[in-house]
Amino acid sequence: MTTLAEVLEYNEVNYFYPVEALTAFYENLGSGDLESREVCRYFEDSYAGIYDSVEDYAYESLESCGDLENLEESLRRYFDYQSYGRDLVLGGDIWVAQLVNPYAVAVFRNN
């Protein structure tokens, strides 16, 4: 059974992922049957980053993929990123872990 300490040690040597985010991922994963390298690989596949809010993630993800570029600027400002972010969580596209420091959220894609 792989412990959180083993995963964090493996991460420190091989990856340097944010410890709080990796801890939240490990706790959500709920399986001690995986080896440390497998936990880190699954983390890498689903980790979207640390954001100030889900709204910030929604904004960045839409801006980076260009989905709103076809809209005129006057219409783009009416897009509700907060509602879109909430819908991503409620729809199961992503899950979020509230971080203690620095009062932010880690966002993970459900693959």
Mean pLDDT within 97-102: 83
Are the C-beta atoms of residues 99 and 20 closer than 8 Å to each other?
A: yes
Say what the pLDDT of residue 62 is.
87
Spatial separation of the C-alpha atoms in residues 56 and 85, rounded to whole Å? 8
pLDDT digits (tens, 9 = 90+) for 38-65: 999 999 999 999 999 999 999 999 888 8
Q: What percent of the chain has pLDDT over 70?
A: 95
Asked if residue 31 has pLDDT above 70, the reply is no
Which neighbouring-strand residues pair with 47? 108
SS3 102: coil
pLDDT at position 24 over 70: yes
Secondary structure E strands in 8-99: 47-51, 94-98
Q: CA 55 → CA 30, 66, 68, 88, 93, distances in Å?
A: 27, 17, 15, 10, 14
Give the HSE-up count for residue 96: Cα atoms under 13 Å, Cβ half-sphere: 22
Phi, psi of 109 (to 5 degrees): -85, 140
